[in-house]
Amino acid sequence: MIAAKTVRLIRRLAGTAAVVAVVVVLVVIYLRSEGKGTGALAPVTRSSASRTASSEHGASSTGGTGGAGSDSCAPPRVCGTQGGGASGSSSSPGSSTTATYTGTAVETPYGPVQVEVAEEGAKIVDVKALQLPTEHALSQEISERVAPMLRSEVLEAQSAEINVVSGATFTSEGYASSLQAALHKRG
């Protein structure tokens, strides 16, 4: 027969193990929802390019981007007027002109996101990521994986209304915001 003291010890250890298991599961779910998980990255449809990713933290949307030094808006937010304006260049004699526009740098919790868009006529022909989160190894890995996905989304949509990539929500939102700022510069 097992002593009462031993039974209490076993119950206490079992209870502690159950709590630890629940905490581990919750941490994994949280990290994956913040783009830190190692799960597959897949596009998730979103309704508008101007929406911010603040809903992930329970904050209310600011309805757009903040100005320089604006700490009241939720991430991603546009920080200052970084980035250049528009520049036009001809690709060859007799062909249409390609104009490039640089979006503002959008600060996300994992680092800045900034894009440059190239247009010929009214068609987006290329999008280049000038800045993506790379401060941490995982952020760099995610950025390298999602950059081609986001570029394809833009070329297909021909606008900043692109799908968010699951596992890289903040980067996707920052990409769309910077792209929208670049497209506003075309006049």
Residues 21-68 pLDDT 10s: 888 888 777 777 665 444 444 444 444 333 333 333 333 333 333 333
28 and 63 in one domain? no
Residues 6+ apart with CB under 8 A from 8: none
Counting the structural domains of the chain, the total is: 2
User: Per-residue pLDDT averaged across 182-187, rounded?
Assistant: 84
pLDDT at 34: 61
Domain encompassing residue 29: 1-33
Identify whether residues 6 and 70 lie together within a single domain: no
What's the token pair of residue 144? Answer: 């390298």
* Selected residue with higher pLDDT from 122 and 69: 122
Q: Do 122 and 74 fall into the same domain?
A: yes
Identify whether residues 154 and 179 lie together within a single domain. Answer: yes
- Can you tell me the mean pLDDT for 73-90? 42
Residue 148 clears pLDDT 90, i.e. is over it:
yes
Residues 100 and 155 placed together within one structural domain of the fold:
yes
Which two tokens mark 77?
């937010």
Same domain flag for 78 and 139 = yes
Residues 55 and 17 placed together within one structural domain of the fold? no
Task: Give the C-alpha separation, 51 to 32, whole Å.
Answer: 21
